[in-house]
Amino acid sequence: MKSHHHTKRRQFSVLRQTCKLWKDIGETLKGRQAPLTFSVDSLTDWLTYDDLLFEVQEGKAESLRFLLARNDPRAHPSAQDNYAIIWAARRGHSETVGLLLSDSRVDPSARANEAIRYAAKKGHSETVWLLLSDSRVDPSAQANEAIRCSAIKGRAETVRLLLSDSRVDPSAQANAAIRFAAYKIHSETVRLLLSDPRVVHSTK
């Protein structure tokens, strides 16, 4: 099985290089010769979702961009309940997340907004910022888990980003965010939370 996947990945690498070469040739000949048309259809007959997921996991932006542009249902970016963007968000692969967000087939709010919940918990602030920019994403999902978990971990920058979104309630679950941040002595996170009037008012 591993040998099979390795062979497919090598084939895809060759395909990427070939497509780039064709593009360069086409640009060189543009306006000087008759139109030069190439087709990659015969080279992508073997594409599957595993190929797209591999490029996501390896952080291969150009390869992923190529696959998304193919719009091939066999390599659908929302397969397995949008696992690709959730995986990328969890690891903080912001460029990959950005590419997937640009594809209308991808739903970043899948699995109860798991993408932003994971990104916040891990402190991937750039990824959190990207996800917050998509109106489909709800950062208050699962009883404001994103800010609660990022506060507990002391992810100050992530907490700051989440506080900037009016949908987020930092006082959720009896002020769990500030209580645990204080317990863990995350002073910067505590300072940020105290600057939010909702936290101050609810602790009085």
> Mind spelling out the 3-state secondary structure of the chain?
CHHHHHHHHHHHHHHHHHHHHHHHHHHHHCCCCCCCCCCCHHHCCCCCHHHHHHHHHHCCHHHHHHHHHHCCHHHCCCHHHHHHHHHHHHHCCHHHHHHHHCCCCCCCCHHHHHHHHHHHHHCCHHHHHHHHCCCCCCCCHHHHHHHHHHHHCCCHHHHHHHHCCCCCCCCHHHHHHHHHHHHCCCHHHHHHHHCCHHHHHHHC
Better-scored residue on pLDDT, 38 or 82: 82
Is the confidence at residue 173, as pLDDT, over 70? yes
The mean pLDDT of the chain is 87
| Residues 88-101, mean pLDDT to the nearest whole number | 98
Identify whether 130 is part of a domain: no
Identify whether 93 is part of a domain: yes
Model confidence band, residue 50 (pLDDT cutoffs 50, 70, 90) = very high
Lowest mean pLDDT, pick from 36-40, 77-81, 151-155, 199-203: 36-40
Structural domain including 69 reads 1-16+47-107
Identify whether 63 is part of a domain: yes
What domain count does the chain have?
1
pTM: 0.80
Identify whether 100 is part of a domain: yes
Model confidence band, residue 74 (pLDDT cutoffs 50, 70, 90) = very high
